Amino acid sequence: MTSTPPPRTLAEAQEALRRRERELAEAGRQIAELSRELSDADHGLIALHTELEEARGAAARLAAIVVASGDAVISIDPLRTIQTWNPGAARLLGHDADAIVGRSADELLPEGALPAFEDALAGAAAGEHAEPVETRWHRADGGLVDVSVTVSAMRGSDGAVTGYAIVAQDIGRRLVLQSELAAARAEREVMADRERIARDLHDMVIQRVFAAGLTLQSVTALLDHDRAVDRIDGVVGELDATIEELRNAIFDLHRAPQQATSLRAQIFDAASAARRPLGFAPTVTFDGPVDTAIPQEVGVHLLAVLREALSNIGKHAKASAAEVVLDTGTELLLTVSDNGRGLGPGTRRSGLANLRERATQLGGTFEVTGRPGGGTRLAWRVPLTGHPGGSDRP
């Protein structure tokens, strides 16, 4: 403010006073303006502070979620170096954060999985919607764990990718449940099929065999030739036996298939199932390991052979005792012996031929011989090392 000379007249003094008043009014206006601006700035600062607090709160909430998550949540930089590693990742993959942060995420991937992982990162960087990918990751102990992996890109304020957030969920349990469910469904279908076959056998086959037997029986009344009557009675007897076998088969069909029982248990089961048609229980002896020594494919054949051998004893031998012995070493030897009437000249059908065929298919041999003192001995022998792969169906 410039100093003005003192007024010399009253008019000058009044003029000076008015000027001063104007100056003061202007200063007042400027002060008011300034204080308004100051107050605006203050409000801006408060808003900024609130925003900052909210951002801090959100970051803290996010961190708490990441820490508490049961899933592995990790972040990597654009060169795939691991930056953060949550407790879920430590639990699932076995590495502590201290040990793994700074190492490459490629270490988690099993052989051959890198291209798919790179594709997922590229997709996230391009802003594509990330679908979870089911894969396997390495654990610290060298094992593999089934995971569902979702990748998303993290970006700076300019939109450039600063890294990736990766969530890996343990799906091992789910996969087990899925396969159990599929097995249960398949079993239900098999059971439905078995029920249908059992029904057809009962309603159609048994009734027809039964009717054929009745017809034959009625024919005997018309015959006066004793040998013819005997022969027909024999055939009727066979038909009755067939009906009995069909009933057994129907009974078996109604039973749920055995759940992954050991081969040893299945051998015992086959022997005890033969008790009814035989009228006595065959003895079963094992010489050597069973489940660890016999490949599944051989086991399937072995059970079929055992069932046919026991069924033959029931049908043909008229025995009072039978013995099953399973010997395992470099080869498997199944012998089934009975004390019955021995091999007669009877009509040879498919049973024994099938047993030979099953042995040949596995590179083994089959022989059926009479026993000194009566009875029959059947020996089914297959190598246990490097047998040729046969059909997996019995």
Ligand X SMILES: Nc1ncnc2c1ncn2[C@@H]1O[C@H](COP(=O)(O)OP(=O)(O)OP(=O)(O)O)[C@@H](O)[C@H]1O
Is the CB of 157 or the CB of 347 nearer to ligand X?
Answer: 347
At its nearest, how many Å lie between ligand X and the CB of residue 314? 9
What is the spatial distance between Cα 134 and Cα 153, in angstroms, rounded to a whole number?
A: 19
Question: Quick one: DSSP state of residue 5?
Answer: P
- Residue 2 binds which one of Mg ion, ligand X, none, with CB within 5 to 8 A depending on kind? none
Q: Give the nearer residue to ligand X in terms of CB position, either 8 or 349.
A: 349
Write out the residues near Mg ion by the rule CB under 5 A: 312, 351
Work out what residue 218 binds among Mg ion, ligand X, none; the CB cut-off runs from 5 to 8 Å by kind.
none
CA gap 52, 41 in Å, rounded = 16
Please tell me whether residue 351 binds ligand X under the rule CB under 6 A: yes
CB atoms within 10 A of CB 101: 15
By CB under 6 A, is residue 376 in contact with ligand X?
yes
Least CB distance from residue 360 to ligand X, whole Å? 15
Closest CB to ligand X among residues 163, 342: 342
Residues 139-168 that bind ligand X (CB under 6 A): none
CA–CA gap between residue 149 and residue 265 (Å, rounded) = 42
- Transcribe 188-253 into DSSP letters: HHHHHHHHHHHHHIIIIIIHHHHHHHHHHHHHHTT---HHHHHHHHHHHHHHHHHHHHHHHHHHHH
Closest contact distance (angstroms) between CB of 307 and ligand X is 11
Among 352, 365, 379, 381, binds ligand X (CB under 6 A): 352
Token pair for residue 203?
């309603």
Q: How far is the CB of 347 from Mg ion (least distance, A)?
A: 11
User: Considering only residues 166, 302, 343, 362, which one is a binding residue for ligand X as defined by CB under 6 A?
Assistant: 343
343 makes contact, choosing from Mg ion, ligand X, none, with CB < 5 to 8 Å by partner type, with ligand X
Residue whose CB is less far from Mg ion, 113 or 303: 303
Shortest distance in whole angstroms from residue 349 CB to Mg ion: 6
Q: In whole angstroms, how close is the CB of 372 to ligand X at the nearest point?
A: 15
Residues 6+ apart with CB under 8 A from 124: 130, 151, 152, 153, 164
Beta carbon nearer to Mg ion, 60 or 353: 353
159 binds, among Mg ion, ligand X, none (CB under 5 to 8 A by kind): none
What's the alpha-carbon Rg for the chain, to the nearest Å? 45
To Mg ion, the closest distance from the beta carbon of 316 in angstroms equals 7
Determine if 340 is a binding residue for ligand X (CB under 6 A): yes
Q: How many residues bind ligand X (CB under 6 A)?
A: 19
Residue owning tokens 């204080």: 35
The entry of ligand X, Mg ion, none near residue 88 (CB within 5 to 8 angstroms by kind) is none
The 292-331 contact track toward ligand X, x by CB under 6 A, reads --------------------xx-xxx--------------
Distances (CA, A) of 83 to 25, 60, 103, 158, 214: 63, 18, 9, 21, 86
Distance, in Å, from the CA atom of 316 to the CA atom of 358, rounded to the nearest integer, reads: 22
DSSP letters of 83-149?
Answer: EEE-HHHHHHH---HHHHTTSBGGGGSPTT-HHHHHHHHHHHHTTPPPPPEEEEEE-TTS-EEEEEE
Quick check: 338 binds ligand X (CB under 6 A)? yes
Per partner kind, with CB cut-offs from 5 to 8 A, the member of Mg ion, ligand X, none near residue 350 is ligand X
Q: Closer to Mg ion by CB, 163 or 340: give it.
A: 340
List C-alpha distances in Å: 270 to 252, 275, 303. Answer: 11, 9, 8
Q: What are the beta bridge partners of residue 326?
A: 286, 334
* Residue 377 parent element (H or E): strand 376-383
Q: Which residues of this chain interact with ligand X, rule CB under 6 A?
A: 312-313, 315-317, 338, 340-344, 346-352, 376
